[in-house]
Structure 1
Amino acid sequence: MALKYYQLDAAQVLAQLHTQKTGLSQTEAATRLQATGPNKLSDHKQTSLLTKFILQFKDLMIIILMIAAFVALLAGEGSDAIIIFLVIILNAVFGVFQEAKAENAIAALQKMTTPRSRVLRDQTVQVIDSEDLVPGDVVLLEAGDIIPADVYFLEANALKVEEAALTGESVPVEKQASPLPAKDIPLAEQTNLGFMNTNVTYGTAQAVVVETGMATQVGQIAKMLTEVDQTVTPLQKNISHLSKVLSVLILVIAAFIFAFGTLTGRESPLDMLLTAISLAVAAIPEGLPAIVTITLALGTQKMAKKHALIRKLPAVETLGATQIIASDKTGTLTQNKMTVEQFYTDGQLKPAAQLKFQADSKLALAMLLANDSQQTPTGLVGDPTETALIQHFLGQTGFDWDKVCAAYPRTASLPFDSDRKLMSVQTGELLLTKGAPDELLRRANFIEEAGQVTPLTKAKRQELAKVNKQLADQALRVLGFAYKKLAPADQLNLEAEQDLIFVGLIGMIDPERPEVKAAVAEAKQAGIRPLMITGDHMDTARAIAIR
């Protein structure tokens, strides 16, 4: 976006877009749609299969082979001509097949756009096709929604957006509805903006559309993907050089043979011409393009089985010249899925796999119920941290999340916010709280261990602080859990988050992919230097690198 909307406040953004908080009228929206076009990634101009096939013959070596085939045919060498033509056609077919396959995969990016959006039109909430959104439209968002365009948040209520696909941040970003004064802010830190095709994992928002279609951040990525890279690979350079050298040598030698034989009178000019042509045909390495094409095609197919997409056959050879591999961390080196790694409860720190819960455990209830994840037909929806807590229990045989939720219905809640760093829910006379361990311990005066509640002593606080640091030093994201029994007349409010009973800590991380360690070792053995690129904290990156 040329205009840095993140520097403006809501009134300035609305004025810049000539709209208002109640949205556009249908008439104005239709006019803008005519001017800006639909809110979708523009279709890349597809080259027909015939054109792709013809373009395969522009290589100099292929041109020389075609000339040689025609000459061989004229000279009566029909079998040689047929073999050369088959080699040329085989080369073209392999090239067309691979390029078409890659373009189909790239085109899949266009299917990511959410199909419908809730928008304010004529001061009423309407559900429209996302393609019909225009700059100035006001959209309504909630947990589970995909942001349909680049937007500026007019209101943000405990809003978190998962932007890993765009920025590489594995943890959802807390969003706000206020201007950012800095002049130049990285994309990942533009917290008052939302970007097309990122996911709302928590909270609700009202936002105004600032960019649509190819003008969005994901649109710029799509544009880069569809641009044809004209870079010549080392193999192409070498073959081109070899073709030129061979062409010159063959022509010089053929001309010399023709001139020498004609001038010395040993043969007639016609016989010497046929001799020179035969020599030229024999000197051309017609098997070279076939060998190169088949070798590259086999390499491409082998990589395709490992889910690596190759658009052009010569790109396979270019990988052989690789000296440095720079890889994004989130979703590439890691699984982009938060996972529970360790627990601290009952005075013991244990791996997650070793700890089993009873359904009425206060720690289990806090993890399950102080949680806004939702079960949908397609799976869990919500903040990745919260869904990871549910997934841990779903992995335990016989554990029924729905049954626990039915037995302990939520009667009130205090959403997480960045100031207190806590979330609390009330179920009957039970208050359950989760959040940052340091904030939680400030409000806790008791601790439950082995079913017994005792005062939280200074020594025990120091022990908990030590465990918290130990987990954090392993680059784990640490959450604390506590509970409290309320009196029948008590109401859930901020004052209720005092005198809590501490029950445990958990450490979570976005784990590395199982195949990464072997891949990095293999790259190093091949003399390639692997680099990890991430926006995460240095300690987190170091922990992933060490693992």
Structure 2
Amino acid sequence: MTQRPVYAQTDAEVLTAVDVDPKRGLTPQQAAERLAQNGPNALAKGEKKTLVQRFLAQFKDFMIIVLLVAALVAGVVVHEWADAGIILAVVLLNAVFGVFQESKAEEAIDALAEMATPNAHVRRGGAVETIASPDLVIGDIVLLEAGDVVPADLRLLESANLKAEESALTGESVPVEKTTAPLDGTDVGIGDRTNMAFMNANITYGRGVGVVVATGMQTEVGRIAGMINAAEETTTPLQENLKQLGKSLTLMILVIAAIVFGVGLWRQAASLPEMFLTAISLAVAAIPEGLPAIVTIILALGTQKMAKRNALVRKLPAVETLGSTDIIASDKTGTLTQNKMTVEKVYYDGALHDAASGIQGGNRMMTIMNFANDTKIQEDGVMLGDPTETALVAYGQTQGFDLAAALTATPRVAEVPFDSERKLMSTVHQLEDGRFLVATKGAPDQLLRRVTGIATGDAVAPIEDADRDAILAANTGMAKQALRVLMMAYKVVDAMPATIDSASVENELIFAGLVGMIDPERPEAAKAVAEAKAAGIRPMMITGDHQDTAEAIAVRLGIIDAGEDDAVITGAQLDAQSDEEFAKNVTKYSVYARVAPEHKVRIVNAWQKRGKVVAMTGDGVNDAPALKAADIGIGMGITGTEVSKGASDMVLADDNFSTIVVAVEEGRKVFSNIQKSIQYLLSANLGEVLTLFMMTMLGWDLLAPVHILWINLVTDTFPAIALGVEPTEPGIMKQKPRGRKSNFFSGGVGQAVIWQGLLEGALTLGVYFVGITWPVHTGSAAIHADALTMAYATLGLIQLFHAFNVKSIHQSLFTVGAFRNKAFNWAILASFLLLAVTILVPGFNGLFHVTSLDWHQWATVLGAGVAIIVIVELVKLALRLRKNK
């Protein structure tokens, strides 16, 4: 028979299982033996990579391997050591960027370990001792009081109004009232295990005693640490696209080189060694060796822009991943909501009012909610106490209620503390006329039984059944809106009761009113949700809070519509579904309530199996496994735990949900600009390949390696990087997410690369043909030298002109603005000057094997450059017209 969980066992059963006397605790010998047997109460840290290991890991990328091979071939075989050096420098730069950005990627478990409380108060050998938290063992009797951090998982044996704040673990925004009685059932969720206290939870109220039932990795927090350790690093769409691009380029390069080599030998264009070197040179020319560095630089520039808008990126690929996001699975507490209880509705004088309108007339409700309250206000204005009670005092301050002055005039002289069984709290205050005011607050169902009168303005009358029905209806209405409702009541007595207890104080009370509170949504969150939906992104809420609360907040935010109950599911209902069932039903749900950490990971995985790119936001320890499992984990910078930040790819410095939408827009722009850079680079390289290929096939003079190297250096790098900072194109947030299946060649980019590359090559070959057919100089050598120089100048300039074309894949250059991007303008100018200097400046001619051109020849070259803009604009226009038909 399977043993029942500890929360379902009686105190005696638990104590017998761990073999301890609760009055004396473990003996020092027992504690030492158990510590030696089970190890310290600490979390196991994940295996850390050294700096060298992280650096070497950067070279596992397929594209990087291709570039390393190209560098080897360029240096050893072709003897172009400068080319090899440039390629190696680019590869090393890319590796350094990667290591720098990912140097903090493994901090999650360290942060978890640091959260553990340093000391614990335990009963050992009949005496209370303070010991280091790692020395705790199963069976230790731990004493808890307000302000303590729970040092291990405890089964509670005593609870004197004990409350624990567990939002970092469970996601529930309100401290949990703790009990000691066994719970029914064997599948009670973490948030409902009221007789348990979990490691790292904060005690906010009362006192308690518990016995340690799990330590270290066996605790609930330890289970989360294990899930973080076991979570596999997800491959981002960007990494997948670059890998696919590297493979495609390698195949293309090998095929082209083989064709050139075979056809050249067949036509006897050169000797076998010469043709082999030609084929290798062609292959080296086809590789966009600057691509990894350019992508890295564009991503780095994107991170800087995001940082200025409060989105701090910890891993470079996360910038682009945001742009492909299909699903944003958001934690509720502290992310979509303010993580601060706030008074929203008040009911008095028979009517429901918005809290902002205040409490009017002679109603004593404001006084009662502030007097029957244990909140302490520090000198700096910070409130200490239960979040529900601090919310009442904070509301009083907004309404101009001076609590300090009121307590000075009407001091508290006695109290009946809150009790989780009767669910009431009362304080007694001496009035200036010598009488006493009893202020009581509590659960409406309990307090209404003790009410005999009702206040309406300044008047008090006996309470009637109709009054009770109206009060209960108001309570039910607010509860359906997921408001936490408290009732306020009072009475004035002539003399202090002889005995201060519930029986003598909490009777014959006068109803003052009801207060409805909630952890409200962030003001900007609803707009952000709407913007996400408009961008084709599905926002979802995942929380440990109750179903009614989660559903109400989701409706208010616009995540679901009112009455859309089928879109809400609880963790228990999720457990009842097999993985196959859940995979079929996952598209139905937008709100998940009362979930455990493993549920969050399961949700993320279910969407990922459907090919969706999932972003997960969160701030608690319980969010860390899902943050790590998601395609992009988004942590909260202010309210977030170090654990959640360490497991995240991006951190929101302002905890503002709307910042995610801003980051998505930036991510989409980054991908679009990377596409533009790739379109520019590959079409340029294809033009170079076609030029060399056709020159080989036609038996023309070939461009020298120095020509190709210089063109690649001055025309590839600067314009490609400048394209990476192009402004956002209009309507980018009205497009659907491109998803995981898209790649750099999606959206017509692949076709554009091919036909535009062929066009560049054709125009270059055309200029070479013009130079041979209508020469300026005489003599075969001079004619061919001039023609080769014209082809060299054309191949370089045509790429600079073409850079203007790729400012938009589909829109006209004149629509997006030819000169909006200042960085691009300077990049084109610098590249032009570096290219022109090799022809125009004396001394460079011999170095680059070129001649001086006259104005006729320059006109031909410039005419080819202008022609590519005209032709591409006409093709774009035709494609737009066909699409709009």
**TM-score normalized with structure 2 length:** 0.57
> How far apart are 1:338 and its partner, in Å?
0.8
Percent of aligned positions that are identical: 53
How is 1:13-28 mapped onto 2 (pairs within 5 angstroms)? 13-21=14-22, 22-28=24-30
Letter in 1 for 2:13: Q
Q: Distance in 2 between matches of 1:357 and 1:109?
A: 49
Secondary structure of the residue that 1:391 maps to in structure 2? helix
Letter in 2 for 1:387: T
Q: Distance in 2 between matches of 1:405 and 1:127?
A: 39
The runs of at least 4 aligned residues of structure 1 exceeding 6 Å deviation read none
1:495 — aligned with what?
A: 503
How is 1:37-186 mapped onto 2 (pairs within 5 angstroms)? 37-74=39-76, 75-104=78-107, 107-186=110-189
Q: Distance in 1 between matches of 2:368 and 2:5?
A: 42
Secondary structure of the residue that 2:383 maps to in structure 1? strand
| CA-to-aligned-CA distance 1:24-64 (integer Å, 9 cap, x gap) | 12232233223333323333332222221111111010011
Letter in 2 for 1:441: L
> How far apart are 1:500 and its partner, in Å?
0.4
Q: Distance in 2 between matches of 1:107 and 1:199?
A: 20
Letter in 1 for 2:179: Q
Alpha carbons of structure 1 residues 263 and 459: separation in structure 2 relative to 1, 3 Å: closer
| CA-to-aligned-CA distance 1:363-419 (integer Å, 9 cap, x gap) | 33422232233456894343221121122234566835487279523423242223x
Flag structure 1 segments of 5+ consecutive residues without an equivalent. Answer: none
Q: Distance in 1 between matches of 2:429 and 2:171?
A: 37
1:225 — aligned with what?
A: 228
Q: Distance in 2 between matches of 1:500 and 1:398?
A: 23
Letter in 2 for 1:96: V
> How far apart are 1:300 and its partner, in Å?
4.3
Between 386-395 and 492-501, the greater mean CA deviation after superposition: 386-395
Flag structure 2 segments of 5+ consecutive residues without an equivalent. Answer: 431-435, 557-885
Secondary structure of the residue that 1:411 maps to in structure 2? strand
1:430 — aligned with what?
A: 437
2:387 — aligned with what?
A: 384
Where is the helix percentage greater, Structure 1 or Structure 2? 2
Tell whether the 8 Å contact from 2:350 to 2:470 is kept in structure 1 after alignment: no
Q: Does 1:368 align with 2:375?
A: no
1:9 — aligned with what?
A: 10
Tell whether the 8 Å contact from 1:151 to 1:194 is kept in structure 2 after alignment: yes
> How far apart are 1:143 and its partner, in Å?
2.4
Letter in 1 for 2:214: E
Secondary structure of the residue that 1:65 maps to in structure 2? helix
How is 1:263-412 mapped onto 2 (pairs within 5 angstroms)? 265-303=268-306, 312-347=315-350, 349-355=352-358, 362-375=364-377, 379-395=382-398, 399-401=402-404, 404=407, 407-412=410-415
Alpha carbons of structure 1 residues 8 and 438: separation in structure 2 relative to 1, 3 Å: closer
Alpha carbons of structure 1 residues 108 and 395: separation in structure 2 relative to 1, 3 Å: farther
| CA-to-aligned-CA distance 1:199-237 (integer Å, 9 cap, x gap) | 222322110111112221112223333445243333333
> How far apart are 1:284 and its partner, in Å?
0.9
**TM-score normalized with structure 1 length:** 0.90
1:517 — aligned with what?
A: 526
Report how many aligned residue pairs link the two structures. Answer: 545
RMSD: 3.0
Secondary structure of the residue that 1:56 maps to in structure 2? helix
Tell whether the 8 Å contact from 2:363 to 2:458 is kept in structure 1 after alignment: no
Between 535-544 and 130-139, the greater mean CA deviation after superposition: 535-544
Letter in 1 for 2:516: G
Q: Distance in 1 between matches of 2:117 and 2:13?
A: 28
Alpha carbons of structure 1 residues 179 and 463: separation in structure 2 relative to 1, 3 Å: closer
How is 1:185-196 mapped onto 2 (pairs within 5 angstroms)? 185-196=188-199
Letter in 2 for 1:180: L
Q: Distance in 2 between matches of 1:405 and 1:169?
A: 36
Q: Distance in 2 between matches of 1:438 and 1:463?
A: 13
Where is the strand percentage greater, Structure 1 or Structure 2? 1
2:464 — aligned with what?
A: 457
Tell whether the 8 Å contact from 2:359 to 2:366 is kept in structure 1 after alignment: no
2:709 — aligned with what?
A: none
Alpha carbons of structure 1 residues 227 and 472: separation in structure 2 relative to 1, 3 Å: same
Q: Does 1:468 align with 2:469?
A: no
Between 515-524 and 147-156, the greater mean CA deviation after superposition: 515-524
